């Protein structure tokens, strides 16, 4: 039997996962005075935004106002200051460089007094059973072996609700009727691109670009995309597979001239459960093979890409959803479409229901332009209760696995919402530790008021 080493230190708050929600949660907890530790499997913070290379941030606004502010604003400002963020002529301030974000998030956390334990994997929680089920410690694995870490409060920011699932808390996964998950992607960066020539080429094919610094071009089968004939010819010639045209999207990157970030390839339909280790391994293999096809296609058919090369493969696949906790409140599609608000709201959202369907499958919802959510000034809210997992007392779960139905999750999962949920979870966890309270003893209205006073748009 392997020996578990006992750490001679303890923390107020341990955040499991330093990704999109986790990094912000840790920064907020540390700034609120909590002794905070982030446990992160890779060597940088930011998760989806950095290691999965998901750039730019998806716009989330109502009546022209960004709904995610607070620490999200500071993150953007610091990215802009070092040349790794930008605002286009449409006042879209969501362009960023994933490599720059790695550094900015790390500095924000370290300067806030938080600690990071990189290259460390969460293994299991240790739960005190009884009337109140509290996580007393977690076992992690790194170069030291198995190590036990103690804290008063925990934030499960694993992205897959790993702590909650292993602690026996209820959850759901995928679309309930089919068990299917949203499609996954493996992003990549293409370097050595002559962006001026590429802009001219795209304009000649019906996709005029604002500027080489703010490029966005795309192709999806059956959506009247002007680039579709090029893809059809490549499939007929055996250069591409049919699925390579299911979703194709390229963006320029601030601070990386000559580089295009691609939000593709979409992976094979059977590769869609990002909470399965074998699936994740297949995703890396399938994705790289698809990237090889796409790069050959781009070099041959897209002017400006003749001398291009793969600058980087994303370290982790782009996973849109896996598990979702069953929380004290389950956000629903009705909440979104009817623009429901909550006294204990910790985030506002106007990003649409956005279900990426695996090839050959149907995961649609009925939508109508007459519903309140389709008005330009609309938004709905996410309550604090959606971060509290049932059956656990000192754990909060921000991010893509917060408590929501499959359809509702597809609207709230984008990075800036994960920032806002993480900020709320970090402050609440710090209060839990300092006041010796459980998650349900935190006053949601008081939390909302404090977040608003510190810059959140609520």
pLDDT for position 129: 80
Q: What is the C-alpha to C-alpha distance for residues 349 and 67, in angstroms, rounded to an integer? A: 6
Q: Assess whether 10 and 154 both reside in one domain.
A: yes
pLDDT for position 172: 97
CB 355 within 8 A of CB 394: no
pLDDT for position 2: 81
pLDDT for position 374: 87
pLDDT for position 10: 97
Q: Name the token pair of 139.
A: 């076992």
Q: What is the C-alpha to C-alpha distance for residues 415 and 58, in angstroms, rounded to an integer? A: 7
Token pair 């709230």 in the structure block, residue: 412
Q: Name the token pair of 402.
A: 């917060």
Give the torsion sign (CA, 148, 153, 155, 156).
Answer: positive
Write the CA distances from 16 to 90, 108, 155, 167, 391, integer angstroms. 37, 18, 6, 14, 19
Cα torsion for 303, 262, 408, 315, to the nearest 10°?
170
Q: Assess whether 22 and 133 both reside in one domain.
A: yes
In a domain, 371, yes or no: yes
Q: Assess whether 358 and 409 both reside in one domain.
A: yes
Nearest to 357 by CA among 222, 233, 195, 253: 222
Write the CA distances from 6 to 10, 11, 140, 142, integer angstroms. 10, 13, 11, 13
Residue ending a domain, among 313, 335, 365, is: 313
In a domain, 182, yes or no: no
Q: Assess whether 148 and 25 both reside in one domain.
A: yes
Q: What is the C-alpha to C-alpha distance for residues 2 and 123, in angstroms, rounded to an integer? A: 13
CA 188 to chain centre: 16
Q: What is the C-alpha to C-alpha distance for residues 48 and 21, in angstroms, rounded to an integer? A: 10
Nearest to 28 by CA among 458, 454, 397, 342: 454
Q: Assess whether 150 and 274 both reside in one domain.
A: no
- What is the Cα gyration radius of the chain? 22
pLDDT for position 449: 98
The upper half-sphere exposure of residue 53, i.e. CA atoms within 13 Å in the direction of its Cβ, equals 25
pLDDT for position 179: 87
Q: What is the C-alpha to C-alpha distance for residues 265 and 184, in angstroms, rounded to an integer? A: 9
3-state secondary structure of 300: helix
Domain that holds residue 98: 4-176+321-453
Q: Assess whether 129 and 147 both reside in one domain.
A: yes
The tally of domains found in the chain comes to 2
- Phi, psi dihedrals of residue 59, rounded to the nearest 5°: -70, 135
Q: What is the C-alpha to C-alpha distance for residues 389 and 440, in angstroms, rounded to an integer? A: 10
In a domain, 8, yes or no: yes
CB 406 within 8 A of CB 175: yes
Exposed (0-12), middle (13-18) or buried (19+): which is 238, by Cβ within 10 Å? exposed
pLDDT for position 185: 97
Q: How many helices (H) and strands (E) does the chain have?
A: 11, 20
In a domain, 252, yes or no: yes
Q: Assess whether 17 and 164 both reside in one domain.
A: yes
Q: What is the pLDDT of residues 414-426, one digit of tens each?
A: 999 999 999 999 9
Write the CA distances from 28 to 72, 245, 278, 425, integer angstroms. 11, 41, 34, 8
In a domain, 181, yes or no: no
Q: Assess whether 154 and 32 both reside in one domain.
A: yes
In a domain, 220, yes or no: yes
pLDDT for position 364: 58
Entry pTM = 0.97
Q: Which residues of the chain have pLDDT under 70?
A: 1, 360, 362-368
Q: Assess whether 413 and 384 both reside in one domain.
A: yes
Q: Assess whether 308 and 325 both reside in one domain.
A: no
Nearest to 240 by CA among 272, 213, 264, 273: 264
Residue ending a domain, among 313, 346, 375, is: 313
CB 37 within 8 A of CB 114: yes
Q: What DSSP letter does each residue of 150-170 carry, written as one string?
A: EEEEEEE-SSS-HHHHHTT--
In a domain, 402, yes or no: yes
Q: What is the C-alpha to C-alpha distance for residues 179 and 380, in angstroms, rounded to an integer? A: 27
- Phi, psi dihedrals of residue 169, rounded to the nearest 5°: -75, 150
CB 221 within 8 A of CB 228: yes
Residue 449 Ramachandran class (φ > 0 left, ψ -120 to 50 alpha, else beta): alpha
Residue ending a domain, among 313, 332, 364, is: 313
Q: Name the token pair of 296.
A: 């050959």
Q: Assess whether 358 and 443 both reside in one domain.
A: yes
User: CATH number, domain at 61?
Assistant: 3.50.50.60
In a domain, 458, yes or no: no
Q: Assess whether 238 and 373 both reside in one domain.
A: no
């Amino acid at each position: 039997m392997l020996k578990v080493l006992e750490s001679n230190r303890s923390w107020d708050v341990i955040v499991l996962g330093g990704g999109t929600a986790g990094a912000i949660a840790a920064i907020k907890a540390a700034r609120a005075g909590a002794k905070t530790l982030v446990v992160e499997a890779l060597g940088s913070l930011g998760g989806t935004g950095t290691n999965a290379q998901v750039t730019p941030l998806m716009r989330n606004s109502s009546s022209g106002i960004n709904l995610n502010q607070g620490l999200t604003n500071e993150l953007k400002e610091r990215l802009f200051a070092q040349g790794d963020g930008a605002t286009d002529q449409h006042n879209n301030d969501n362009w960023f460089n994933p490599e720059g974000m790695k550094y900015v998030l790390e500095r924000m956390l370290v300067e806030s007094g938080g600690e990071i334990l990189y290259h460390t994997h969460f293994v299991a929680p240790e739960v005190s059973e009884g009337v109140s089920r509290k996580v007393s410690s977690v076992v992690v694995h790194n170069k030291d072996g198995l190590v036990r870490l103690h804290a008063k409060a925990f934030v499960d920011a694993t992205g897959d609700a790993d702590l909650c699932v292993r602690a026996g808390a209820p959850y759901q996964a995928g679309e309930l009727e089919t068990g299917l998950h949203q499609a996954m992607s493996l992003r990549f960066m293409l370097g050595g691109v002559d962006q001026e020539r590429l802009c001219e080429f795209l304009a000649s094919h019906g996709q005029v670009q604002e500027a080489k610094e703010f490029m966005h071009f795309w192709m999806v089968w059956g959506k009247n995309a002007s680039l579709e004939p090029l893809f059809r010819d490549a499939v007929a010639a055996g250069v591409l597979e049919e699925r390579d045209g299911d979703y194709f999207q390229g963006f320029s990157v601030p601070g990386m001239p000559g580089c295009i970030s691609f939000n593709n390839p979409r992976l094979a339909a059977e590769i869609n459960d990002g909470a399965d280790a074998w699936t994740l391994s297949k995703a890396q293999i399938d994705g790289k093979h698809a990237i090889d096809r796409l790069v050959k296609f781009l070099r041959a058919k897209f002017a400006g890409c003749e001398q291009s090369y793969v600058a980087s493969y994303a370290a982790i696949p782009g996973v849109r959803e896996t598990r979702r906790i069953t929380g004290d409140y389950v956000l629903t599609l009705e909440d979104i479409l009817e623009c429901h608000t909550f006294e204990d709201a910790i985030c506002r959202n106007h990003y649409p229901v956005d279900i990426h369907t695996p090839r050959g499958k149907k995961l649609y919802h009925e939508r109508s332009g007459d519903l309140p959510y389709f008005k330009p000034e609309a938004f709905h809210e996410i309550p604090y209760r959606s971060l509290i997992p049932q059956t656990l007392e000192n754990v909060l779960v921000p991010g893509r696995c917060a408590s929501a139905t499959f359809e509702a999750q597809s609207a709230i999962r984008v990075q800036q919402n994960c920032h806002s949920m993480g900020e709320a979870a970090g402050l609440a966890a710090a209060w839990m530790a300092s006041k010796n309270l459980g998650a349900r003893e935190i006053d949601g209205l008081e939390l909302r008021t404090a977040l608003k006073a510190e810059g959140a748009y609520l």
